[in-house]
Amino acid sequence: MTAVRAEGLRKVFGDKKAQRMALDGVTISIEEGEFVAILGQSGSGKSTLLGIVGGLDRGYEGAVSLFGRDLAELGDRELAELRGRRVGFVFQAFHLLGHLTVMENVLAPALFDRGGSIADPERRARDVLGQLGMADRADDRPAELSGGQRQRVAIARALFQKPDLLLCDEPTGNLDVETGAQTIELFRELHAQGGLTILAVTHEERLAEAATRTVRLAAGRIVEVVEPEPLAGAGARP
């Protein structure tokens, strides 16, 4: 099944006197189970593309669908429910809540889960923290963690609801070289376990090397696509 389908995306910032074309006719399709990296320098349109695909930006021309559902046909509540059930987000700036513990940050998505899709939220949070090697820091606060540890907590929060699609915006951008390499290896491992679709936007070639397909943007247009190698082996979704 196709996880993401975007057709003819156009996005313009500014008014008529000072317009900037962020996306100019971008079409891309991502199948379930793929790990796709969107490469490009600052201003290439890659973060704008991610925001539109994730339903965070509705001011665009063109069409976007997630798992066969046209985002333009969804109301705000329906879109929020789709994101909550099937999409996890990882951001460059972590976006952890400093007044909450690591455990409480990971549990935050449960506050918006109207359907109670996770039967035992605390157990799920501990499981995913354990998977990412952060179980022993559950009672700490973000300020007590290194950058790499905070990113692992952010990834744990994104995985809490068992999403089908993980959207990552410059996930290594605030990390040093060694910690960035560890985070890239973590994404590689998550994908290799099977079932999880990953779309990561980055300017870092190392992250692209971990992906099964890379798409390069420049000035809001796709200028290069490197086709995938065979997908990694199957397994249980994290």
What pLDDT, on a 0 to 100 scale, did the predictor assign at position 231? 42
CA distance to 128, 137, 139, 150, 182, per residue, from 144 (Å): 20, 9, 10, 9, 19
* Per-residue pLDDT tens over the stretch 91-104: 988 899 999 999 99
Mean pLDDT across 71-100: 93
What pLDDT, on a 0 to 100 scale, did the predictor assign at position 5? 97
Lowest mean pLDDT among 48-52, 214-218, 223-227: 223-227
Which CATH architecture best describes the domain 2-226? 3-Layer(aba) Sandwich (3.40)
What pLDDT, on a 0 to 100 scale, did the predictor assign at position 193? 84
Instruction: Copy the structure tokens of residue 86.
Output: 């099937």
232: pLDDT strictly greater than 60: no
Mean pLDDT across 109-121: 81
What pLDDT, on a 0 to 100 scale, did the predictor assign at position 233? 45
pTM score of the predicted model: 0.89
Q: What percent of the chain shows pLDDT beyond 70? A: 94
234: pLDDT strictly greater than 70: no
229: pLDDT strictly greater than 80: no
- One-letter-per-residue 3-state SS of the chain: CEEEEEEEEEEEECCCCCCEEEEEEEEEEEECCCEEEEECCCCCCHHHHHHHHCCCCCCCEEEEEECCEEHHHCCHHHHHHHHHHHEEEEECCCCCCCCCCHHHHHHHHHHHCCCCCCCCHHHHHHHHHHHCCCHHHCCCCHHHCCHHHHHHHHHHHHHCCCCCEEEEECCCCCCCHHHHHHHHHHHHHHHHCCCCEEEEEECCHHHHHHCCEEEEEECCEEEEEECCCCCCCCCCCC
Task: Identify the bridge partners of residue 124 per DSSP, sorted by sequence position.
Answer: none
* Cα 201–Cα 68–Cα 66 angle in degrees, nearest 5: 25
* Per-residue pLDDT tens over the stretch 7-26: 999 999 987 778 889 999 99
Half-sphere exposure of 221 (CA within 13 A, CB side): 4
